[in-house]
Structure 1
Amino acid sequence: MPRVRTRHIAICAFIVLWIYYFLPRDEALTYVHNYGHRGSHGSAVALARYMNDYPPHITATQSSFDWSSVNFTYPPRLTPKLPAPFTKRPRIQHNFKRDSRPVAAVQEQRRIEVKRVFRKSWTSYRSQAWMKDALKPISGEYVDQFSGWAATLVDSLDTLWMMGMRDDFYEAVEAVATIDFGKSTAPSVNTFETCIRYLGGLLAAYDLSGHEVLKTKAIEIGDLLYAGFNTKNGMPVDFMNFEDAKKGGGLTVEGQVVSASPGTITLEFSRLSQITGDGKYYAAVAHLMDVFHQGQHDTELPGMWPMYVSMSEKDVVTGHQFSIGGNADSLYEYLPKAHALLGSVDPSSKMYEIMSRAFMDTAMNNLFFAPMTPGSEDILISGNVDVLADGPTLDPESEHLSCFIGGLYALGGRLFNSDEYLDTGAKLARGCAYAYKSFPTGIMPERYNMVLCPGPDRRIPCTWDEVRYAEEAAKRSQYKSDLPKGFTTAKDPRYLLRPEAIESVFILWRITGDPVWRETAWEMFQAVANATDTQYANAAIMDVNVVGSRQEDYMESFWMAETLKYFYLCFADTELISLDDFVLNTEAHPFRLSRG
């Protein structure tokens, strides 16, 4: 036997033994798969067989309608072409060293506890709501709110993979293979939700596992969504009439939609083009984003877009309300992430870097503020801006949905080599963590107000002023005297199992390596798990200002797709979904970054 081959076998044997005996099984299985991408695929298969993780043969059942057969009245243009792979990305993730044994032991116990909570939710979904969109966690009933294509099942695929729950994963893949995207429980399909949950979930699960069934079903749902571009002006519909779309006669674009809806297609369509080699998806979304690019500096707040836009008129300029919260959030989120996926060499993808820098500077100078707190913490909160006759006015109202922005700025800091973006991101993430810690349950409310620090630069912390706080609180009709000091309202006091705050904490942990973020994550997890636990899974709570708050029979798929996934990744091995290898969509689905 040649000496080189003998050495190769010895190395493989060593790796197998090291993985098998020294890594937790779920992380070992993930390592096995990654080894196949970075080294020899044959070696990865051998390792997978050794660990009883060889994927079963599953055949996809073709949907009752072939969406690729639609004869479009208004076929989208097929240019620009998909850019070549981005080969010069800067390093994103911190250069981690192995944890000491005591630290590793603590993190392992935390990881196991998050997995236990996930497993409980998944098991209940499997027994009570299998193939339905969502489980109702108190009654044990189910709801179909996203076309009835098993949203929770598809949304949870990549979490199952990351947690090493391979039997459950392949059982879920077998179920996914039977989903009929030719039928819908609703007459209209929500383009945004279908894209981020279904297409995003299938693409990520394929990127992680390589199972061809997932790619097949991703193409089916991708072609369904592509039919939403069969419009006279080439812009996508927000809600697609299911039966009209099948006929191909052309769809009517809505007059007004929230800006996040058309702005949150780029990653999924671009990745679908990358894995299929079919550039039609990328070309369609490139024309859509051209509209946002061309109008970016013509709005009332140049650099940002209003919360509502008109796709029928291609008008992304008219409007006076600006926010990075609900209705607009993921439009902004996808700009730096599209740059990470596509790069800036090609003219059609260069716009994502340009738009990213412009909106980040505008938001930093207009929306972010230091709140007045009893401890004068060095934190930032994201508010809203109205631009009326007197110019921009900052409203110090924020919401849980805005909490993704800290992680996004940290990511932008690495992508664009900006310490200012990274520092701003850290302060924003600390702001949301502060809001969590301030309330009796250890969880922040859905929507709330704080007091602006005075001065020309509202991002500079200020000292506590009891009189000023009382005056500002008195102006708010929703003010209650039992609110934590510094908060003047909890306009919507619920917690809906949202992931945005822990998302930013996770990204700051992975980018900075500062262990304080892991401790913050653990405090948040304990608070959330305790307050939301039910017989079956976890439920939204009605008031974060009340310990033992009444729960709501509500658990969307993002609980398992995002919230628990981000908690888990905070305590798992840092090479599991490295930010240098993946970019995550707004539903926390990781898309593999191509390397050329």
Structure 2
Amino acid sequence: MRSCPQVFKRKAVELGRKLLPAFNTPTGIPHGVVNLAGDSRRAPGGDLRRSSVLAEVGTLHLEFVHLSELTKDSIYIEKVMNIRKHLNQLDKPHGLYPNALNPVSGNWEQHFVSIGALGDSFYEYLIKSYLMSDRTDEEAKKMYYDALEAIDKNLVQRSPGGLTYVAEWRGGVLDHRMDHLACFSGGMIGIGAEHGGPGSRQHQLDLAANITHTCHEAYRRTPTMLGPEVFRFDDGAEATAPRVNERHYLLRPEVVESYMYMWRLTHDPKYRDWGWEVLEALEQHCRIATGFSGVIDVYSHMIQHDNLQQSFFLAETLKYLYLLFSEDDLLSLEDWVFNTEAHPLPVIHRNCTQEAEDTHPVGLLARLIGLL
């Protein structure tokens, strides 16, 4: 186990313990809002939030497994394995995961499916759980590829202009739009292509490359060379944002995240070229005297700033750009997995003795999956 400064370890354990009451539900699905000072179901304002969001309940695996590794306490693994068990037994429309479920009844709240906002990191954490376990977490692998197959069959579309995109699904009706957030999926599908799943390895790599290309087009088709928050493929739109309220750029990382992964997987120089375009656009349009700001309308030649530097700009956007232009052995994908906020977590390599495996989190994880 890598050394961890004790102050950070203590704080991680303290936070983990304070989060545990959120799981006190009949289903084991945690409440979506946690009040660290009291009732885990209630926000500071006192409002009870009924639904739990798929991206929230599904984006705990990496951190909780790592916390069990640091503490040798299996309670954190148990919590996320219970979530996985519940999701596995639910009926899924066409194999798809809706974005909200009730933590008390355990049922889906609606049939809205998106790999963008509300759903995104759930899928990412399935394949990354498999990779972080040194490719031993077969259940996470199966869940990921089953979900990817359903996405490929039901959501992946091709525009009249030949662009591949992932639509949203609203009770059986497709909404032909993508969030900027959904652009992470190019990199996700790319890193999963080596390990099986629907179609051939080349099919998945092509899908990853095509989605990443579409997201680049959403940037290229603006005068600022920055991508909008939402881009559409209906009513004549082609990777563009005809609606004024969807044209802002919040310094988001998802597009450059996919550039970084696709560069490391293929070493195609276009991904570095595209990353350099983003760097130049950030310098030209987003840099202000006190840092970097989002842009209100990426289609306007008169730049208006929102005067917000989001925390993920430093944690993710700049980090992925730095890694895009670094050597592959800097935070190698063989040894590290990035959580959804781009914080690196170590792969739990299978290099321990059989005796150590009995108490090592890899062994705990394997036994828990077997029991569940």
Report the TM-score when normalising by structure 2. 0.85
> Which of structure 1's runs of 4+ aligned residues deviate more than 6 A?
none
Equivalent AA in structure 2 for residue 582 of structure 1: W
Among 238, 241, 250, the alignment partner of 2:35 is: 241
Contact 1:540–1:554 under 8 Å retained in 2: yes
Contact 2:32–2:53 under 8 Å retained in 1: no
Contact 2:218–2:231 under 8 Å retained in 1: no
- Give the 5 Å matches for 1:508-519: 508-519=262-273
Equivalent AA in structure 2 for residue 406 of structure 1: G
* Whole-angstrom distance in 1 between the partners of 2:59 and 2:230: 23
* Whole-angstrom distance in 2 between the partners of 1:284 and 1:497: 33
Contact 2:209–2:262 under 8 Å retained in 1: yes
Among 165, 180, 190, the alignment partner of 1:381 is: 165
**Superposition deviation, residue 370 in structure 1:** 2.0
**Superposition deviation, residue 364 in structure 1:** 1.0
The alpha-carbon distance between structure 1 residues 244 and 211, as it changes in their structure 2 partners (threshold 3 A), is closer
Asked whether 1:212 is paired with 2:12, we answer no
The alpha-carbon distance between structure 1 residues 343 and 254, as it changes in their structure 2 partners (threshold 3 A), is farther
* 2:158 alignment partner in structure 1: 370
Per-residue deviation, residues 535-569 of structure 1 (Å, max 9, x unmatched): 11001110000134210121221010000000111
Among 337, 340, 348, the alignment partner of 1:594 is: 348
The alpha-carbon distance between structure 1 residues 562 and 239, as it changes in their structure 2 partners (threshold 3 A), is same
* 2:16 alignment partner in structure 1: 222
* 1:397 alignment partner in structure 2: 177
The alpha-carbon distance between structure 1 residues 486 and 309, as it changes in their structure 2 partners (threshold 3 A), is closer
The alpha-carbon distance between structure 1 residues 221 and 572, as it changes in their structure 2 partners (threshold 3 A), is same
The alpha-carbon distance between structure 1 residues 424 and 576, as it changes in their structure 2 partners (threshold 3 A), is same
* 1:529 alignment partner in structure 2: 283
Per-residue deviation, residues 137-171 of structure 1 (Å, max 9, x unmatched): xxxxxxxxxxxxxxxxxxxxxxxxxxxxxxxxxxx
- Give the 5 Å matches for 1:124-523: 210-245=4-39, 254-295=49-90, 298-300=91-93, 302-316=94-108, 318-342=109-133, 345=136, 349-373=137-161, 376=162, 379-387=163-171, 392-416=172-196, 418-451=201-234, 472-473=235-236, 487=240, 489-490=242-243, 491-523=245-277
**Superposition deviation, residue 344 in structure 1:** 6.1
Aligned residue for 1:552, secondary structure, equals coil
Per-residue deviation, residues 437-474 of structure 1 (Å, max 9, x unmatched): 111100110012124xxxxxxxxxxxxxxxxxxxx34x
Contact 1:253–1:311 under 8 Å retained in 2: no
Q: Structure 1 unaligned runs (5+)?
A: 1-36, 38-206, 247-251, 452-471, 474-478, 480-484
- Give the 5 Å matches for 1:13-162: none
* 1:4 alignment partner in structure 2: none
* Whole-angstrom distance in 2 between the partners of 1:566 and 1:488: 25
**Superposition deviation, residue 292 in structure 1:** 1.1
**Superposition deviation, residue 339 in structure 1:** 1.1
**Superposition deviation, residue 242 in structure 1:** 2.8
Aligned residues: 341
**Superposition deviation, residue 416 in structure 1:** 2.5
* Whole-angstrom distance in 2 between the partners of 1:253 and 1:591: 33
Contact 1:372–1:486 under 8 Å retained in 2: no
* Whole-angstrom distance in 2 between the partners of 1:504 and 1:215: 31
* Whole-angstrom distance in 1 between the partners of 2:135 and 2:89: 17
Contact 1:229–1:236 under 8 Å retained in 2: yes
* 2:329 alignment partner in structure 1: 575
**Superposition deviation, residue 253 in structure 1:** 8.2
Contact 2:157–2:165 under 8 Å retained in 1: yes
Contact 1:583–1:591 under 8 Å retained in 2: yes
Report the TM-score when normalising by structure 1. 0.54
Aligned residue for 2:122, secondary structure, equals helix
Which structure exhibits the higher relative contact order, with contacts defined as CA atoms closer than 8 Å and separated by 6 or more residues? 1
Contact 1:231–1:253 under 8 Å retained in 2: no
Aligned residue for 1:239, secondary structure, equals coil
The alpha-carbon distance between structure 1 residues 486 and 415, as it changes in their structure 2 partners (threshold 3 A), is closer
* 1:34 alignment partner in structure 2: none
Q: Structure 2 unaligned runs (5+)?
A: 41-46, 351-372
* 1:57 alignment partner in structure 2: none
Identity rate, percent: 31
* Whole-angstrom distance in 1 between the partners of 2:11 and 2:125: 23
The alpha-carbon distance between structure 1 residues 253 and 272, as it changes in their structure 2 partners (threshold 3 A), is farther
Equivalent AA in structure 2 for residue 222 of structure 1: G
**Superposition deviation, residue 401 in structure 1:** 0.6
* 1:112 alignment partner in structure 2: none
* Whole-angstrom distance in 1 between the partners of 2:48 and 2:89: 20
Equivalent AA in structure 2 for residue 257 of structure 1: S
Aligned residue for 1:244, secondary structure, equals coil
* 2:309 alignment partner in structure 1: 555
Contact 1:344–1:351 under 8 Å retained in 2: no
Per-residue deviation, residues 266-310 of structure 1 (Å, max 9, x unmatched): 111011111221111001111012111112xx222x322112211
**Superposition deviation, residue 254 in structure 1:** 4.4
Per-residue deviation, residues 201-249 of structure 1 (Å, max 9, x unmatched): xxxxxx6x74333222221222222232234543322112233259xxx
The alpha-carbon distance between structure 1 residues 313 and 253, as it changes in their structure 2 partners (threshold 3 A), is farther
* Whole-angstrom distance in 1 between the partners of 2:180 and 2:241: 16
* 1:16 alignment partner in structure 2: none
Equivalent AA in structure 1 for residue 106 of structure 2: K
* Whole-angstrom distance in 1 between the partners of 2:213 and 2:184: 12
